[in-house]
Chains A and B, each alone.
Chain A
Amino acid sequence: RKEVEQDPGPFNVPEGATVAFNCTYSNSASQSFFWYRQDCRKEPKLLMSVYSSGNEDGRFTAQLNRASQYISLLIRDSKLSDSATYLCVVNTYNQGGKLIFGQGTELSVKP
């Protein structure tokens, strides 16, 4: 089983749509959770951290369910500029604090 597993993509949605990405992780000792965004042929950039209480940043909402070892990212009113690959990332301190990346889910927002 992969340590971090994401929805296989790609997701093709029209502008204005709401899209949700799902991610599961295997190590119950994982402590920190993130969503990174990676544009084509560019480096990953932190989109948002994910907190147990859930958090929102504008059109983006992240949720964490520790019991189910599940993380989600919701994008509302999607824009063309949201087209990118979204990476689910988990930090597990008992593995030296290294980040484990999911394989990414590609999103393409069409006019």
Chain B
Amino acid sequence: ETGVTQTPRHLVMGMTNKKSLKCEQHLGHNAMYWYKQSAKKPLELMFVYNFKEQTENNSVPSRFSPECPNSSHLFLHLHTLQPEDSALYLCASSLTNVEQFFGPGTRLTVL
């Protein structure tokens, strides 16, 4: 059983909708990450949080807004997305910024 959970697992939204992705880790890790995985492309790091502080924003458009209320929870708020934002969004956590454990992902489709 993975120690990192993500909800929802699938999401279909229109371009004018606002939705949020949730990630929770039960591993006692201090760092959490959002990645985007599009078809036939490498994983793209979006955001990094260390001890609830954002330490990396990899030039992500402002229509993606992360929130990390504590070391165990991470959100990705979505608004006015584009069809090209359709992808698998993966959350990960780590203790030492080295080995990362991934959640099952949210498969997002933007219509």
Residues of A whose CB lies within 8 Å of any CB of B are 4, 32, 34, 41-46, 49, 87, 91, 96-99, 101-104
Residues of B whose CB lies within 8 Å of any CB of A are 2, 40-43, 45, 48, 55-56, 88, 90, 97-105, 107
| In the complex, chain B residues whose CB is within 8 Å of the CB of A91 | 97-98
- Nearest 8 pairs between A and B by C-beta? A97-B97, A43-B102, A101-B43, A103-B42, A101-B42, A43-B104, A44-B102, A43-B105
In the complex, A79→B107 CA distance in Å?
29
A43-B2, A43-B90 known; 13 other A-B pairs, CB under 8 Å? A32-B98, A34-B99, A41-B107, A45-B102, A46-B99, A46-B100, A87-B43, A91-B97, A96-B48, A96-B56, A97-B97, A101-B42, A103-B40
In the complex, A103→B43 CA distance in Å?
7
In the complex, A52→B105 CA distance in Å?
32
Residue of A nearest to B101 (CB): A46
Main secondary structure of the interface of A (DSSP, over half): strand
Closest chain A CB from B93 CB (angstroms): 12
Closest chain B CB from A42 CB (angstroms): 7
Residue of B nearest to A103 (CB): B42
Q: A34-B99, A43-B102, A43-B104 are in contact. Are A99 and B45 (CB under 8 A)?
A: yes
In the complex, A46→B95 CA distance in Å?
14
Establish whether residues B99 and A96, one from each chain, have CB atoms under 8 Å apart when the complex forms.
Answer: no
In the complex, A46→B100 CA distance in Å?
8
Most chain B Cβ neighbours within 10 Å, of A4, A98, A104: A98
